[in-house]
Amino acid sequence: MTAARKPGRPSITLIGAGNLASVLGPALKSSGYRIDAIVSRPLRKSRQRAAVLAKKIGAKAQTLSNAQLQSDIVWLCNTDDALSATATRLAQHSDWRGKIVFHSSGALTSDVLAPLQRAGAHAASAHPMMTFARGTVPKLKDVTFAVEGDRKAVSAAREVARALQANSFVIQKKAKVLYHALGSFSSPLLVAALATAERVGLAAGLTASQSRKVTGPILQQTLNNYLARGAAEAYGGPMKRGDISTVRRHIEELRKVPGAGEVYADLIKSALIDLPAKNKRQLLQLLERGNKGMSSMLNDQKVIGFIPTKDPAKARPFFEDVLGLRFVTDDKFALVFDAHGTMLRVVTVKDFTPFQFTLLGWEVSDIEKVVAGLQKKGVKFERFSFMEQDKLGIWTAPGGVKVAWFKDPDGNMLSVSQHD
């Protein structure tokens, strides 16, 4: 039977109807909280999920545009990328004075809720260290919530955790990113390692389901050992024994499995920092030799750039005087330049069609300064009708990278770009 609302417990509205809200809503309801509303985006699928969850826990399904937000606590269950915009939008309506607002991002602090704080709300982040995969319903009992924010909101968040029979602790804002990375190592990256193991199993002739069946007992025992006795006591195998010949054979065979050799070597290197192992020095030497064999033969070799020219007499002053590359030599086949440690060979050819896509580019720290400086030297930057460029001819990509294009005397397309 669903628990009735316990006297004195605040009412709650959940913003979002995804995996987290689908677990949190019923758990709060069972702990005696009244869930007033499930607020979703206006998209059809979002509204459908909100309606299903709201019906399940006796709440109203609303969208951001018509949300009433009359609850004592408003809990944002959005993705990290959506939190800032959602907080800004919510702050524009409703009376936030005295209300408490949470978000459950592991990496972001309560500062992302600043628009709501300015509107009068008390804010905290309350992150449960748990995975919420679609189609699963993890229990929140004994889960730990990391909490930070202003005093009243932190107190309220810890009270909610107690009602859920969960644990909680107050975390410093500056520690949240590393705390969240701890969670990444504990769940998604662990799954990534297991997916790599399945790839190894496939190379050994096992299907994915067979690999899970074979490794299930050892995985469960390993996790039990770790939780009960710690990492050092749970660690075993040829690495701990210092069995060099076995590790060498592993490395040789894992070269046949894409990506697995690199993961194997990196995990052993990490293990050797903290965990007990015999023959550590020999293991590290073996891993270094093995990495060279697993990686491309060219991985640690220098790159040489090539660009064609029909007229080296025009090309040399452009690359040397205009672009500022150091001229090294003319070996009769090419003009050789030093481009910050990379050899660039401007090769003489009789005829060719200039490249109209980027043939050569430079990453710069201040693209506006570089473009302006090159323009003063007579470089004309290209403009394209299908993209928005600023007055200098710089285009800003959706991810924030800035790029500007220009041509050398032969018409080859070159570029400068800023990536930070």
Q: Domains of the chain by range and CATH?
A: 12-172 (3.40.50.720), 186-294 (no CATH), 304-418 (3.10.180.10)
- Predicted TM-score (pTM) of the model is 0.68
Instruction: Compute the residue count for the chain.
Output: 420
Residues of the chain with pLDDT under 50: 1-2
Nearest to 376 by CA among 392, 362, 363: 392
CB-count exposure of residue 178 (10 Å: 0-12, 13-18, 19+):
exposed
Q: Assign residue 214 a region: left if phi > 0, alpha if psi is -120 to 50, beta otherwise?
A: alpha
**Other Cβ atoms closer than 10 A to 101:** 27
CB-count exposure of residue 248 (10 Å: 0-12, 13-18, 19+):
middle
Rounded CA separation 7/5 (Å): 6
CB 248 within 8 A of CB 286: yes
**Other Cβ atoms closer than 10 A to 99:** 22
The set of residues, in sequence order, having a beta carbon less than 8 Å from that of 389 and lying 6+ positions away, is 383, 395, 404
The residue whose two tokens read 């060279």 is: 292
CB 287 within 8 A of CB 268: yes
Quick one: how far is CA 9 from the chain centroid?
A: 37
